[in-house]
Amino acid sequence: MREALREAMQEEMRRDEKVFLLGEEVAEYNGAYKVSQGMLAEFGEKRVIDTPISELGFTAIAVGAAQNGLRPIVEFMTWNFAVLALDQILNTASKMLAMSGGQIGCPIVFRGANGSAGQLGAQHSTAFESYYANIPGLKVISPSNPYDSKGLLKAAIRDNDPVVFMESEVMYGDKGEVPEGEYIIEIGKADIKRPGRDVTIVSFNKMMKVALGAAEELAKEGIEAEVIDLRTIRPLDWFTILESVKKTNRLVIVEEQWPFASVSSEITYRIQKEGFDYLDAPIRRITSADAPMHYAPTLVGAYLPDVPRTVKLVKEVMYMKK
Amino acid sequence: MATKFTKETYLYWYELMLLLRRFEEKTGQLYGMQKIRGFCHLYIGQEAIAAGCMTATKPEDKMITAYRDHGLAIAKGVSAKACMAEMFGKATGCSKGKGGSMHFFGADVGFFGGHGIVGAQIGTGAGIAFADKYNGNDNVTLTFFGDGAARQGMLHETFNLAMLWKLPVIFICENNNYAMGTSVTRTSNVVDIYKLADAYEMPADSIDGMDPEAVHEAVARAVKRGRAGEGPTLLEIKTYRYKGHSMSDPQKYRSKEEVEEYKQRDPIETSKQKLLEVFGVSEAEIEAINERVRVEVEECVKFAEESPWPSEDELLKDVYIDQNYPFIVD
Ligand SMILES: Cc1ncc(C[n+]2csc(CCOP(=O)(O)OP(=O)(O)O)c2C)c(N)n1
Ligand SMILES: [Mg+2]
């Protein structure tokens, strides 16, 4: 996965002089998670820039640079730390085009690791998709595999609007097919990762593993789940979800967000409005627990969505007693 | 080697620093055995700061620091057993197994925790001091942060407010020369961090952090100012971490020689020499201390091993004080 992300950045930096990368430990240390390994050597310190631990400051510089014609990629070591820079992302990057009446845009990518990664405690474990997806002016991408990551990151870098790109510490080591040669994946398109007819499961990012794992289990019992990978959170491709629900009449959403005003809340609203007549059961979801994530392994297990609970929930929407 | 400090002080320093060292050496081993998980940052090399701070303050004073919190927590009086249990994720941990290595807390002893967002606790520490001033007592708050944290905007806003309101806070920058892989010289044009105080006309000093005496004296001066209502002080304490930033750091950014250079001035070693040579403490007495520490660390591990895991119903506990909060449980 990290190689796919790196290739996307390298290809775009070779293609366009205006693209550059900055963040903590991205250059000499080769990236806290080694995503930018070798990039300093290739592009030099003008275009691969180490910053001090000053999230608000270096994000402001990048946002300013984007408004004045450059195309920065900002790496946050994790999205937990980007909270310090939220003012720049929310109040400057996302709003400048509107405030200037269309004069000044902000072609920038904010990327980094998001969500939990084992026993890291409460401050290092938040999944932020729903926060940023709430913000008009931003696009939010949260891919689940190397192929999608590369194609979507390239699209994000070429996009003329500010894009938030959510990765995962626990997926950087994931392996997957990435073809030779260039390809771009359009932002805003969900992908059916497993076709099925009985129930629709929607997920994204590392929770796709739970969704696909559950589908695998369900198949053993003759239940064919259709698994949709959102890939982009904002704009939300609800058409793909609706088309699936028209066929399956049942929807379960699996995500790592907290439950209140989450991505699943928004999907649920949209599908009940657009697809009310197609639903044979209430839309259900599994989110993280309504609490900060605790350190103890027993509590990590209880906090996150998992395969057994997803399987159980699918059976509930199918009115199968178990 | 003459000193105005007493034998008792040195005995206390030696035993405390040795406990912190041995506790963390054990922590490193247990991390390797995967008994301890998550991010884990060792304090090894920086112990003299904890030692000097403790003798220069009183129990009612407060402390707050970042994620490199084992040493300061134990020094301040959080039970070493509870600290070990915390890292195991056990219910008997100092944060009930909910915090882990980075988030030790001990409200009863004035330890306001280990914090994970670099620089955030600089402001929080000033707020703790604000409350003590507001309440009209003469407690001070020692607010610790790293050289990397000194580059956060939080530092400047907090310095300004703390001076404006003359808060009884002592800002202690534990300058171990690195923020992960980035040396101080690569983070700013101003490499003498204590000079950042000048912009706010805050008294400041640069201190040798390998020497508990120097730490004690500087902190004592700052404490005096704080208690007298004269406001904050910035102390840049020059120290060194012998180990990597966390447990997964290949340390390519520094040389072995550099690490060795600091180890030559190891505060535990120099304190021991002082006890032997200046205070005439016998080898046998030193050996007795070493043995006591060894046993204590063993007991910590035993306690952690034998303690229970938190039960699943802890998931929604300690999120609100309100016992009837209606959580979303779908
Ligand atoms: C706001 C924020 N940004 C980045 C990080 C990741 N991070 C954790 S520790 C660290 C280095 C901090 O160095 P320093 O302040 O010198 O403290 P030390 O580790 O040396 O004790 C970084 C970059 C973080 N935890 N919080
Ligand atoms: Mg440091």
Active site residue A124: yes
Q: Has residue A322 been placed in a domain?
A: no
Pocket of ligand 1 (CB under 6 A): A 24, 53, 55, 77, 81, 84; B 68, 116-118, 146-149, 176, 178-180, 245
Q: Has residue B275 been placed in a domain?
A: yes
Chain B residues near residue A120 by CB distance under 8 angstroms: 38-39, 100
Chain B residues near residue A40 by CB distance under 8 angstroms: none
| Secondary element (H or E) of residue B305 | helix B283-306
Contact A52 B38 (CB under 8 A): no
**Based on the domain organization, do A252 and A155 belong to the same domain?**
no
Please, which residues 52-111 of chain A have a Cβ atom closer than 8 Å to chain B?
52-57, 80-81, 83-84
**Could you tell me the distance, in angstroms and rounded to a whole number, from the CA of residue B37 to the centre of ligand 1?**
18
**Based on the domain organization, do A88 and A220 belong to the same domain?**
no
Q: Has residue B330 been placed in a domain?
A: no
Q: Give the alpha-carbon dihedral of A243, A246, A248, A250, to 10 degrees.
A: 100
Atom of ligand 1 nearest to the CA of B245: 19
Judged by a CB distance cut-off of 8 A, whether residue A120 touches chain B is: yes
Is the dihedral angle over the CA atoms B137, B139, B140, B143 positive or is it negative? negative
Q: Has residue B187 been placed in a domain?
A: yes
Q: Has residue B64 been placed in a domain?
A: yes
Beta strands across the sheet bearing B62-66? B111-115, B62-66, B141-146, B169-175, B233-238, B204-208
**Based on the domain organization, do A85 and A153 belong to the same domain?**
yes
Residue B3 has pLDDT above 90, yes or no: no
Which ligand number lies closest to the CA of residue B115?
1
**Could you tell me the distance, in angstroms and rounded to a whole number, from the CA of residue B69 to the centre of ligand 2?**
13
Beta bridge partners of B124: none
- Total domains, chain A: 2
The residue from A119, A142, A171 where one domain ends is A171
Segments forming the whole domain that contains residue B14: 7-316
Name the residue among B52, B91, B325 with its Cα closest to residue B207.
B52
Confidence of residue B2 (pLDDT cuts 50, 70, 90): confident
**Based on the domain organization, do A201 and A66 belong to the same domain?**
no
Query: What distance in Å separates the CA atoms of residue B124 and residue A95, rounded to the nearest whole number?
Result: 30
Segments forming the whole domain that contains residue A311: 191-317
- Total domains, chain B: 1
**Based on the domain organization, do A201 and A164 belong to the same domain?**
no
Q: Has residue A99 been placed in a domain?
A: yes
Q: Has residue B186 been placed in a domain?
A: yes
Neighbours of B313 (CB within 10 A): 9
Neighbours of A212 (CB within 10 A): 20
**CATH code (residue B153):** 3.40.50.970
Of A3, A12, A24, A55, the active-site residue reads A55
Among candidates B99, B149, B309 on the partner chain, residue whose Cβ is nearest the Cβ of A298: B309
Beta strands across the sheet bearing A109-113? A48-50, A19-23, A71-78, A109-113, A163-167, A139-141, A232-234
**Based on the domain organization, do A13 and A75 belong to the same domain?**
yes
The residue from A119, A140, A171 where one domain ends is A171
**Could you tell me the distance, in angstroms and rounded to a whole number, from the CA of residue A156 to the centre of ligand 1?**
28
Q: Which of B68, B154, B180, B246 to mutate to test the pocket of ligand 1 (most atoms within 8 A of CB)?
A: B180
Q: Has residue A220 been placed in a domain?
A: yes
Q: Tally C-beta pairs within 8 A across A and B.
A: 136
B180-203 b/e (C-beta count within 10 Å ≥ 16 → b): bbbebebbeeeeebbebbeebebb
**Based on the domain organization, do A63 and A120 belong to the same domain?**
yes
Q: Report pLDDT for A322.
A: 59
**Could you tell me the distance, in angstroms and rounded to a whole number, from the CA of residue B275 to the centre of ligand 1?**
36
> Which stretches of chain A drop beneath a pLDDT of 50?
none
Burial class (CB in 10 A: 0-12, 13-18, 19+), A248: buried
Active site residue A55: yes
Query: What distance in Å separates the CA atoms of residue A33 and residue A236, rounded to the nearest whole number?
Result: 29
Q: Has residue B322 been placed in a domain?
A: no
Of A78, A125, A299, A304, which to mutate for an interface test with B (greatest number of B Cβ within 10 Å)? A299
Query: What distance in Å separates the CA atoms of residue A19 and residue A24, rounded to the nearest whole number?
Result: 17
Model confidence over B28-37: pLDDT tens digits?
Answer: 999 999 999 9
The length of chain A, given as a count of residues:
322
Model confidence over B181-236: pLDDT tens digits?
Answer: 999 999 999 999 999 999 999 999 999 999 999 999 999 999 999 999 999 999 99
**CATH code (residue A14):** 3.40.50.970
Query: What distance in Å separates the CA atoms of residue B158 and residue B64, rounded to the nearest whole number?
Result: 14
**Based on the domain organization, do A269 and A304 belong to the same domain?**
yes
Query: What distance in Å separates the CA atoms of residue A142 and residue A233, rounded to the nearest whole number?
Result: 7
Q: Has residue A176 been placed in a domain?
A: no
Q: Has residue A267 been placed in a domain?
A: yes
Q: Has residue A177 been placed in a domain?
A: no
Model confidence over A260-286: pLDDT tens digits?
Answer: 999 999 999 999 999 999 999 999 999
Name the residue among A210, A205, A227, A201 with its Cα closest to residue A315.
A201
Q: Has residue A15 been placed in a domain?
A: yes
Mean pLDDT of chain B: 97
Give yes or no for a contact between B264 and B257, defined as CB atoms under 8 angstroms apart: no
| Secondary element (H or E) of residue B171 | strand B169-175
B245-260 b/e (C-beta count within 10 Å ≥ 16 → b): bbbebeeebeeeeeee
Contact B315 A81 (CB under 8 A): no
Model's pTM, two decimal places?
A: 0.95
Who's near B280: CB < 8 A, 6+ residues apart? none
Who's near A183: CB < 8 A, 6+ residues apart? A150, A151, A154
Judged by a CB distance cut-off of 8 A, whether residue B99 touches chain A is: yes
The residue from A171, A206, A224 where one domain ends is A171
> Which amino acid makes up residue A196?
G
3-state secondary structure string across chain A: CHHHHHHHHHHHHHHCCCEEEEECCCCCCCCCCCCCCCHHHHHCCCCEEECCCCHHHHHHHHHHHHHCCCEEEEEEEEHHHHHHHHHHHHHHHCCHHHHCCCCCCCCCEEEEECCCCCCCCHHHCCCCHHHHHCCCCCEEECCCCHHHHHHHHHHHHHCCCCEEEEECHHHCCCCCCCCCCCCCCCCCCCEEEECCCCEEEEECCCHHHHHHHHHHHHHHCCCCEEEEECCEEECCCHHHHHHHHHHHCCEEEECCCCCCCCHHHHHHHHHHHHHHHHCCCCCEEECCCCCCCCCCHHHHHHHCCCHHHHHHHHHHHCCCCC
Residue B290 has pLDDT above 90, yes or no: yes
